Amino acid sequence: MSAAAEPSNARLAESLLAFWAEAGIDSVLADEAVDRIEAGRVAPPPRPPPPVTALAPAPAGRIAPGGRPVGPDVATAIAQAQAAAAAAGSLEDLVAAIAAFEGCPLRYEGAATKAVVLRGDPKAPLMVIGEGPGAEEDARGEPFVGRAGRLLDRMLMAAGLEGRVLITNTVFWRPPGNRTPSPAEQAVCAPFLERIVQLVQPRMLLLAGGASAKSLLKREEGILSLRGRWFEWRSADGALELPAMPTLHPAFLLRQPGAKKRAWIDLLTLTERLDRPDRPH
């Protein structure tokens, strides 16, 4: 390159200053030198405690954008869900009760007009419980019908479980942005989910994903610690107990294909126990 084509020192300096300015540097030299080593020996002053504010009482209801009611507070919503679930004598009645229920705020935040409740055999020996509906599930009104659902179906078929499962979620409306449902949202839907288990009477549960496992088993460990282990799920009144196995959510397997082997082992372990002949009394 010729000397004439090379940028001038002034242009280089201007470019460098512009780079520093974009990086947030507003001065090149301070008025006095700073001993950074000595400054590091001085402990910073303690942070003041955060201000304590009184908790406002929970409102009886909230209003969503557009003036639609979001529903009552959590305790009231749970009581309403318990009453509606107990009054449902069949799965058809229960699906209708969930569709009419207005106590879960997800109904007005991320979902379409329809509730996403269940699909599969109403007398299935195995219930698969995921976390919450996604966009495709919200559009079609059935759980696990998107990419993750198609992977789940293929896994169930390979394990010999096709046509022997009923699939649902911990919540029945799509969370905004497909986020994980909150514990409060799951608690509001829990009476309906428990009533599904009571009506279907499965022999065991497969809990897909950490949010499902933590909610139903009341555990705090992550799914990588819970998966592949047997636990006992108990109904709120303690009258019903079922073996339950947490496993990795199919959506996680789509992001981490290397984890499919672990989920497959979980499924085979569950299938072996499900198909094991009953021991004579």
At 229-279, the pLDDT tens digits run: 999 999 999 999 999 999 999 999 999 999 999 999 999 999 999 998 765
* Phi, psi values for residue 69, rounded to 5°: -70, 140
Residue 44 lies in a domain: no
User: What 3-state class would DSSP assign to 63?
Assistant: strand
Which residues form the domain of 107?
72-274
How high is the pLDDT of residue 277?
76
Residue 43 lies in a domain: no
Task: Give the 3-state secondary structure of 249-263.
Answer: CHHHHHHCHHHHHHH
| Surface-to-core class of residue 270, CB atoms within 10 Å of its CB (0-12 exposed, 13-18 middle, 19+ buried) | buried
Residue 46 lies in a domain: no
How high is the pLDDT of residue 260?
96
Residue 182 lies in a domain: yes
How high is the pLDDT of residue 57?
40
CATH label of the domain that carries residue 92:
3.40.470.10
- Identify any residues that bridge with 208 across adjacent strands, giving them in sequence order: 247
Residue 259 lies in a domain: yes
Q: Where are the alpha helices (DSSP H) in the chain?
A: 9-22, 36-40, 74-87, 91-100, 106-109, 135-140, 147-158, 183-200, 210-217, 223-226, 250-255, 260-274
Q: Between vectors from CA 218 to CA 212 and to CA 222, what angle results, nearest 5°?
A: 60
- Cα separation, 134 vs 208, in Å, equals 14
Q: How far is CA 178 from CA 39, 134, 142, 212, 239, in A?
A: 47, 6, 15, 15, 34
Quote the number of domains for the chain.
Answer: 1
Residue 270 lies in a domain: yes
Residue 131 lies in a domain: yes
Query: pTM above 0.85?
Result: no
Amino acid letter, 30: A
How high is the pLDDT of residue 109?
86
Whether 73 and 184 have beta carbons less than 8 Å apart is answered as no
Residue 179 lies in a domain: yes
Whether 230 and 270 have beta carbons less than 8 Å apart is answered as no
Q: Give the chain's residues under pLDDT 70.
A: 1-7, 15-72, 113, 278-281
How high is the pLDDT of residue 114?
83
Whether 205 and 127 have beta carbons less than 8 Å apart is answered as yes
